[in-house]
Amino acid sequence: MSELSPEEINIIQHKATEPAFSGEYDNFHINGIYLCKQCSSVLYRSMDKFNSGCGWPSFDDEIPEAIKKLTDSDGRRTEILCQNCDGHLGHVFLGEQKTAKNIRHCVNSLSMKFISIEKLLEQDNTNNNFGKLILAGGCFWGIEYFYELEAGVLATACGYIGGETQHPTYKQVCSGKTNHAEAVAIIFDKNKTNETKLLDLFFDIHNPTEINKQGPDIGSQYRSAIFVINSNINTQKEIIENYINNFKKNNNSKIATQIENTEKFWLAEDSHQKYFSSRNQAPSCHYRRSNNT
């Protein structure tokens, strides 16, 4: 359990409420995950956060099995608590028509702590319950779209990897001169999914037999590749190699997908993050082949 300030104790343990518009995470739009301030259980993903205008952080979805719901002491509202430690978070409201999911988790900022995607990417896969996998297979917009929907995925980010240029831009990568690939970094909960399940999706939504292209997108930046951060070589590379060998054997096919070792994943510009989901659109170059056979 984390050490709490008197104000945090008042809210988390004694069910008080912080003043509207006072919380750190009210007008806060950074990519990452939100954890319980008291016990560090993962509660919410930034991709499920929205600006409701109510003065408190609002989410229209939760991490499965992370939230407990009880009738509030006032007998009218529904209180939400951390499933793991019973820490008070806030209240949940239905029927407000603020998002397509028609639900709003209204949460005290002081009940949570935040980890950015940058910090998550810096962590070694062996050190905690968060794993990471970096995949490239065509335009990163489509890859990210499907992993945002995948069970057990906590955060995703589009970026550039595998090249020589420091701090590459989209324009530079598209020139084909930096040797970077458009890729998606995936942070996942090891207790709810694993590399094998995530690779099942990867090999379903793109064509791994194509060399330096995917659909209409042509160039080395669109190559099919799985990137292993060097600190994870011993723990992750063997899993990926075994998966690819089994895929080749089971599908009786040669594939172009390469395993590349690297050190640095560069985040893409904000305009490339959550491209399809932010526009309520779906990709056409990537699709579930298992649903079309």
The three-class DSSP label of residue 91 is strand
Polymer length of the chain: 293
> Is 82 marked active-site?
no
The three-class DSSP label of residue 191 is coil
CA separation for the pair 151, 190 (Å, rounded): 11
DSSP at 251: H
> Of the residues 39, 54, 85, 139, which is catalytic?
139
> Is 139 marked active-site?
yes
CA separation for the pair 244, 235 (Å, rounded): 16
> Of the residues 36, 82, 106, 285, which is catalytic?
106
Tokens 């810096």 locate to 122
CA separation for the pair 149, 96 (Å, rounded): 23
Is the four-CA dihedral 38, 39, 40, 43 of positive or negative sign? negative
CA separation (Å) from 234 to 125, 126, 213? Answer: 11, 10, 29
Active site residues: 106, 139
